Amino acid sequence: MTPKTTKSERALIDRLSALLVHDGSAVPFGDDMAALPGAPGQLLWSTDMIMAGVHFRAGDQPWELVGRKALAINLSDCAAMGAVPVAALIAIALQNDLTMADAVAIHRGAEELGGAYECRLVGGDTNSWDRPTVISITIAAALPEERPPVLRSGLRPQDRIFVTGALGGSILGRHLRFTPRVREALEICSRLTPTAMIDISDGLALDLDRLRVASGCGIVLESRLLETVIHSDARQLADQDGRPALEHALHDGEDFELIVGIPPDVSENLLAGLPLREIGRATDDIDGVQIRGADGTLTPLAPIGWEHFR
Amino acid sequence: MTPKTTKSERALIDRLSALLVHDGSAVPFGDDMAALPGAPGQLLWSTDMIMAGVHFRAGDQPWELVGRKALAINLSDCAAMGAVPVAALIAIALQNDLTMADAVAIHRGAEELGGAYECRLVGGDTNSWDRPTVISITIAAALPEERPPVLRSGLRPQDRIFVTGALGGSILGRHLRFTPRVREALEICSRLTPTAMIDISDGLALDLDRLRVASGCGIVLESRLLETVIHSDARQLADQDGRPALEHALHDGEDFELIVGIPPDVSENLLAGLPLREIGRATDDIDGVQIRGADGTLTPLAPIGWEHFR
């Protein structure tokens, strides 16, 4: 056996970046989607995998919801780039004890959600084994009206930072049933010019840190604003486990809301009616992410969340 | 638990076809690659997954070779469509006992093979768990000179049938080191007009049957010609296990050579120098695939090979 090694997802991705980064891409390595060579300026693509026992528990929910989630997390990546999903492929390793009906249900769950976005499953690869089920979906998306993709790296000091919805406690069920923010992202991108976006897969604290690192600036969150983005699920979970609801909102992950950076001079008229809740601002005065309390004191927010390789 | 059900890969794919087939695609559902909507007439894409314990054994070979195979089987799909690979995405579930170096080696193995075809890994998704490693690669490919893709369904009665190389015994190591027939396919497509192609992943008998079913015709193989496509690995394996070498050539799978249908009127001049070995002809006189012996008798060839859901 190979020895067990201390490792983190970020460290691995850094190593892979050094290996895999290629010049000339319209999108930096490690963003939510990659530019698809061969369709320059037209198409993005990305892939996301879910595994039984890690991202869902086999038998805890209808298989339709598992298939739905497998596609939804990919649709969320399209949202994060401001792109329109166009089609998907599904590769699957089915645990042997699944029935044919279960296998069809997984595909139907993905297909039904995709249909709502005119994003169809157009092919795939079907395997079986005696291990937990793994589903890997790859999605392609188009950039409307020749708009550039919204990257993680575009946040600038003074930009206002928003999220598209309330956060925390998704484990109570929302992680299976969330609405990927595709329509919201397209509306935001058609009315405003967001400087940066990312979807919240691993928690606000961790994904905000990814945005900040990619953009090279600091972020100050206002605690009074954070109070407004705590999901009722986070409060329910806090009642159950005694941890503060805000902690759940900051660190739980699988919210699949978007973090959106908007230039400071945006008019309130343009913001009105958009599903955006403000949480803070970018800054070049500090490093990292800090939370400003009611008394003005700053407290660092650790980039801790759901992370593989913990 | 859900009850165990008799099932086969083909039965599941038939069920999925009914669910997922969408009108207007340039490529029928279930071919080696799918048309990529949003890039009409330009791009194909497909996905193939390999799992430790099924497609490779963890620890039996360098991880570079596992990564190489994960990409090579996808490059083989491009070859089967007569398309030029342009880029790939890699999604991975790494077993926890892999080191960082192992994880990098997997990516390097894929990247190095891809580099030989100017087909780069441009993104991916990295996960870890305590189960066997799963690697899912998605590849995109372009059709050169506006040629249509070569489908499985185009074989016509009287077409001559060739393979691009010798078959059988790939388990002795070739399944990890094979050369995907991308260059060969492009050369064949630039000089000839193949009516149908498929790559041999699950064995000549099974993949030839898929070609035949998709095309709606029968096939007669000549036993004297089949003798010329038995790989030395098949003979070596036959020496070890006492089964006929021809059986290995017909049923082992993971050869990743191409089956190629060519119109009957092709000139021998055009064929000369191409890596094509003739094995038989398409026909509308019979159903299924039959082997004609030296004495003229026909023996049905069962479509048996490596198949998931056995």
Chain A positions in Cβ-Cβ contact with residue B308 (cut-off 8 Å) = 126-128
Please list every residue in chain A whose beta carbon sits closer than 8 Å to the beta carbon of residue B1.
Answer: 59, 97
With residue B250 as reference, give the H or E element that holds it: helix B245-251
Minimal-distance CA residue of chain A relative to B141: A38
Inter-chain CB proximity A308 and B126 less than 8 Å = yes
All structural domains of chain B, each given as residue ranges with its CATH number in brackets, are 40-146 (3.30.1330.10), 152-301 (3.90.650.10)
Distances (CA, A) of A260 to A158, A162, A257, A285, B287: 13, 5, 10, 20, 60
Question: Does B131 contact A127 at a Cβ distance shorter than 8 Å?
Answer: no
Interface contact A58, partner B, CB < 8 A = no
Tokens 């079907």 correspond to A126
CA B195 to each of CA B186, B188, B262, B285: distance values in angstroms, whole numbers, following the listed order: 14, 11, 6, 19
pLDDT at B40: 63
CB contact under 8 A, B16 and A102: no
A10 close to B (CB below 8 A): no
Interface contact B48, partner A, CB < 8 A: yes
Question: Which is it for the CA torsion B23, B27, B30, B35, positive or negative?
Answer: negative
Nearest chain B residue (CA) to A124:
B47
Helices (H) and strands (E) in chain A, counts: 10, 12
Give the count of beta carbons closer than 10 Å to the beta carbon of residue A54.
18
**Comparing C-alpha atoms, which of A253, A52, A197, A80 is closest to residue A136?**
A52
Q: What is the pLDDT of residue B24?
A: 67
Of A12, A42, A123, the CB nearest to B39: A42
**Residue A14's closest chain B neighbor by CA?**
B104
Query: Cβ-count burial of A241 within 10 angstroms (0-12 exposed, 13-18 middle, 19+ buried)?
Result: exposed
ipTM: 0.92
A21 and B CB contact within 8 Å: no
Task: Tell me the pLDDT tens digit for each residue of A148-172.
Answer: 999 999 999 999 999 999 999 999 9
The answer to whether B46 contacts A123, with C-beta atoms less than 8 Å apart, is: yes
Q: Within an 8 Å CB–CB cutoff, is residue B99 touching chain A?
A: yes
- How many residue pairs bridge chain A and chain B with CB atoms within 8 Å of each other? 247
Q: Give the pLDDT mean for B240-252.
A: 96
Distance (Å, rounded) from C-alpha B74 to C-alpha A90?
14
Best CA proximity match to B209, nearest among B287, B289, B148 = B289
Tell me whether residues B123 and A9 touch, CB distance under 8 A.
no
Predicted pLDDT of residue B117: 97
pLDDT of residue A236: 98
State yes or no: pLDDT of B120 exceeds 50: yes
Residues of B in contact with A309 (CB under 8 A): 128
> pLDDT tens digits, chain A, 310 residues: what are they?
222 333 466 788 788 877 777 666 778 778 899 999 877 668 999 999 999 999 999 988 999 999 999 999 999 999 999 999 999 999 999 999 999 999 999 999 999 999 999 999 999 999 999 999 999 999 999 998 889 999 999 999 999 999 999 999 999 999 999 999 999 999 999 999 999 999 999 999 999 999 999 999 999 999 999 999 999 999 999 999 999 999 999 999 999 999 999 999 999 999 999 999 999 999 999 999 999 999 999 999 999 886 543 3
Q: How many CA atoms lie within 13 A of B225 on its CB side?
A: 16
Is residue B45 within 8 angstroms of chain A, CB to CB?
yes
pLDDT for res A166? 98
Angle among Cα B62, B68, B72 to the nearest 5 degrees reads 150
